[in-house]
Chain A
Amino acid sequence: MERLEYEFDGGAPVAPRNRPTLTGVLGSGNLEVLVEPADLGGRVRVEVQTAAVGFGAIWQAVLSDVFARWQVGDIRVSINDAGATPAVVALRLDQALSDHTGGGA
Chain B
Amino acid sequence: MTLHLKYDLSQTYKSVIEFVLKNLSIDYYLVNLNEIRLKEALDLAQKVELQEQLSLFNISIVDDQKLSLVQRVKLLINFYLEHKEVQTKNVSDYLSEELDYSYAYLSSLFSEATYSSIESFIILRRVEMAKDLLLKTDKSLTEIAFDLNYSSVAHLSSQFKKTTGLTPSAFQRIIQKRNSINPN
Do A and B originate from a single complex? no
- Chain A positions within 8 Å of B, measured between CB atoms, are none
